[in-house]
Structure 1
Amino acid sequence: MENFMFKSGTRIIFGKGAEKTVGEYVVKHSRKVLVHYGGDYLKEFGILDRITKSLEENGIEYVVLDGVVPNPRLSLVRKGIKICKEENIDFVLAIGGGSAIDSSKAIAVGTKYDGDVWDFYSGKTEPKSALKVGTVLTIPGSGSEMSESSIITNEEKNLKCGIDCELIVPEFSILNPEMCYTIPPYLMSCGIADILSHLFERYFTPTKSAILSDHLLEGAMKAVLEVGPRMKKEPKNYDNCSEIMWLATVSHNGMLDAGRISDWGSHRIEHEISALYDITHGAGMAIIFPAWMKYVKHQNMELFAQLATRVFGVADEEDKDVVVEKGIICLEKFFKSLGLKTTLTEAGVPVDRFEEMAMKAVGDSECVGRFKQLKKEDIVEILKLAI
């Protein structure tokens, strides 16, 4: 097991009607907030009204900034920063899924900085201070409601980059599983794929001994495989929604990879797909992860076979290559059962810019990923397997 530090700084308020209490938690930090969100469904289903009513009941002044879209845009982040500086706002309340939360986190670090917020995401410098952030989660999957991560898209440069910073870990996150009732089936499927991708990134590790986290990750994966189909059949079943919402949070709050090195190569590859072609992140992960597995499986066949037998129920046999291949097929079938595509061609993604995507994925480094370090030529081969 590796040395590690673990800190959970986010208060979770979980359950029915929890969003009605948001003002009670905001008022502990601020009297003037930016409410940041995207999606007409928040108004249509009365979610925004319930939240702003709670703010008003607690004497909190607020300014609204909507317009968040999947793969949140740098231009909107800059707009939010300008508002916060002009209005002397000292807290950002995100309402939505990962895009709204990541955008809010970017606004939080950008408001306390004299330069351009993209400096952080391009690696030019690191944040030294930030506004505090709270969230009301409406679309599970990203895990951003309890993580130190934020990923945004620079639409001018077709780049999707992220930061990890303790300053942007939310002070609180409100999780009401009833919010899942409003999510279109496709977006829910993308969220489920995103949850699995976060678990896989942690599972495939160069760390030699991490028995406890192996089993924790495998248990979470098995829960996703069990609850995912139930969500498709009964999207408004409260218990199913509860399981998915909490799975999404736990899979990305740092607890399950304590003591092990995570990979994140697949995410870097997918970011270039969604940056160029604006597909939903979870949909991209459903395409990239099977291709990545096929390419890197010989790095640790025992671990891949362990996944196949323990999680996907593949019968063990002497030929590990067969066991691993059956496991990957099971994963592809699971994604397809959710209505997701597992190839670039099926998803309508062009296949003529692989060299450019690989170059951007690697950036200034020689390689990405820790389970198997991937150079530009490796990424191109993975993209070819994803065709």
Structure 2
Amino acid sequence: MLNFEYDNKTKIIFGKGTENEVGNYTKLYGKKVLLHYGRNSIKKYGLYDKVVASLKANNIDYVELGGVQANPRLKLAKAGIELTKKENVDFILAVGGGSVIDSAKAIALGHYYDGDVWDFYLKGIRPEKVLPVGVVLTIPAAGSESSTATVISDEETGLKRGYGDVSLRPKFAILNPELTYTLPNYQTSCGVVDIIGHVIERYMTNTTDVELTDRLCESVITTVINNAPKALNDNTDYASRAEIMWAGALAHNGLVGTGREEDWASHGMEHQLSAVYDIAHGAGLAIMYPAWMKFVYKHDLNRFALFANKIFGLEINNSNLEETALKGIAKLEEFYKSIDMPIRMSDINITDENINIMAEKATHTSDIIGSFVKLNKQDIINIYKLAL
């Protein structure tokens, strides 16, 4: 196990009706709030009215900025930065899923910065100060509600980049599984894939003697796999949606990665896939993980056999670990298909015309990505080809 520090100060408020308490928590941090959200769903289903009523009940002034899209755009984040500066905002309340939260974090980064907020994503500079952020979560997926991470897409260059800093952990996150009842099944499935992906990035590691976090990783993944069909079958099944929502937070709050090397190559490759084709992140991950696994599994047959055994209950064939490893990858594909996710680019009519462009973008800031197996540009091209 590697040395580590773990510090997560995001306060989680979990359960039914908790969105009605948002004003009580917001007033601890700000008096004038940027209310940041996506399109019309929070207004259509009444969440907007509940949030505004709670803010007003606590004498909190607010301005609002909607319009966040999947694969959140740099242009909107910059508009948000201008708005927070103009209105002297001292807190950002993100009401939505990972895209909204990531956009809010980008605005938080840029509020006190004199330069271009994109500098953080391209150059990895550290912020001296950020605006505090709070969350009312509507889509369990990204884990951004209690993570250090934010991912933004620049429409002009076609680049999609992530950034992380401990200062970006939200001050609080309100998680009510009831708010996910209105999600289309496609969004729920994309979220499930994203949650599993966040754990795979930690599980596939070169670090030895990490039994505790291995078991934590396996528990999060199997819990999501067990509960996804129930949630998709009955959108109002509170129990299954509660399990998935809490798993989403645990998958990406840093806990399951403590003391171990992490990979993140699949996320890096998917970011360019969704940047070029504007597909949902979860759908892109369902395509990229099996391809990546088929390219790297021989690097550690024992770990892939363990994955097959612990996640899917397959018996380990000690005389042929490769057979067990490949069966585990096939089982993952089978699960993705069972929740109506694509597992090949061809499933969503993507051809090979942009593979070289995506590989170039994936290595835009570094010639090598990943740590479980270090991948160069040609490796990435080969993985994209496996994903076709």
Pairwise TM-score range, normalised by the shorter structure = over 0.9
For 1:134-184, what per-residue CA distance to the aligned partner results, in whole angstroms no more than 9, with x for missing partners?
A: 000000110000000000000100000011111111000000010110111
Distance between the aligned counterparts of 1:182 and 1:91, measured in 2?
Answer: 28
Contact map agreement 2:293 2:329 (CA 8 A) in 1? yes
Question: Any idea what SS the aligned residue of 1:381 has?
Answer: helix
| Pairing 1:60–2:46 present | no
Q: For 2:297, give the aligned amino acid.
A: K
TM-score by length of 1: 0.99
Look up the match of 1:373. 374
Look up the match of 1:344. 345
| Pairing 1:236–2:236 present | yes
| Pairing 1:85–2:85 present | yes
Look up the match of 2:274. 274
Distance between the aligned counterparts of 1:83 and 1:222, measured in 2?
Answer: 43
Contact map agreement 2:122 2:365 (CA 8 A) in 1? no
Contact map agreement 2:291 2:386 (CA 8 A) in 1? yes
Q: For 2:355, give the aligned amino acid.
A: F
Q: For 1:274, give the aligned amino acid.
A: S
TM-aligned CA deviation for residue 126 of structure 1:
2.4
Distance between the aligned counterparts of 1:349 and 1:90, measured in 2?
Answer: 43
Contact map agreement 2:122 2:161 (CA 8 A) in 1? yes
Distance between the aligned counterparts of 1:140 and 1:222, measured in 2?
Answer: 16
Distance between the aligned counterparts of 1:235 and 1:385, measured in 2?
Answer: 34
Deviating more after overlay: 353-362 vs 282-291: 353-362
Q: For 1:362, give the aligned amino acid.
A: T
Question: Any idea what SS the aligned residue of 2:153 has?
Answer: strand
Q: Report matched runs for 1:187-198 at 5 Å.
A: 187-198=187-198
Distance between the aligned counterparts of 1:293 and 1:27, measured in 2?
Answer: 46
- The unaligned stretches of length 5 or more in structure 2 are none
Distance between the aligned counterparts of 1:344 and 1:372, measured in 2?
Answer: 23
| Pairing 1:246–2:259 present | no
Q: Report matched runs for 1:301-340 at 5 Å.
A: 301-317=301-317, 318-340=319-341
TM-aligned CA deviation for residue 360 of structure 1:
1.1
Distance between the aligned counterparts of 1:47 and 1:345, measured in 2?
Answer: 37
- The unaligned stretches of length 5 or more in structure 1 are none
Look up the match of 1:72. 72
TM-aligned CA deviation for residue 362 of structure 1:
1.4
Quote the RMSD (CA, aligned, Å).
Answer: 0.8
Look up the match of 1:218. 218
Distance between the aligned counterparts of 2:310 and 2:171, measured in 1?
Answer: 36
Distance between the aligned counterparts of 2:287 and 2:6, measured in 1?
Answer: 31
Distance between the aligned counterparts of 2:35 and 2:350, measured in 1?
Answer: 34
Structure 1 segments of 4 or more deviating over 3 A? Answer: none
Distance between the aligned counterparts of 2:219 and 2:20, measured in 1?
Answer: 32
Look up the match of 1:37. 37
Equivalent pairs counted in the alignment come to: 387
Q: For 2:360, give the aligned amino acid.
A: M
TM-score by length of 2: 0.99
TM-aligned CA deviation for residue 358 of structure 1:
1.0
TM-aligned CA deviation for residue 364 of structure 1:
3.0
For 1:278-337, what per-residue CA distance to the aligned partner results, in whole angstroms no more than 9, with x for missing partners?
A: 000000000000000000001100000000011111122121111111111100010000
Question: Any idea what SS the aligned residue of 1:295 has?
Answer: helix
TM-aligned CA deviation for residue 124 of structure 1:
5.8
Distance between the aligned counterparts of 1:28 and 1:119, measured in 2?
Answer: 30
Distance between the aligned counterparts of 1:130 and 1:25, measured in 2?
Answer: 18
Q: Report matched runs for 1:91-110 at 5 Å.
A: 91-110=91-110
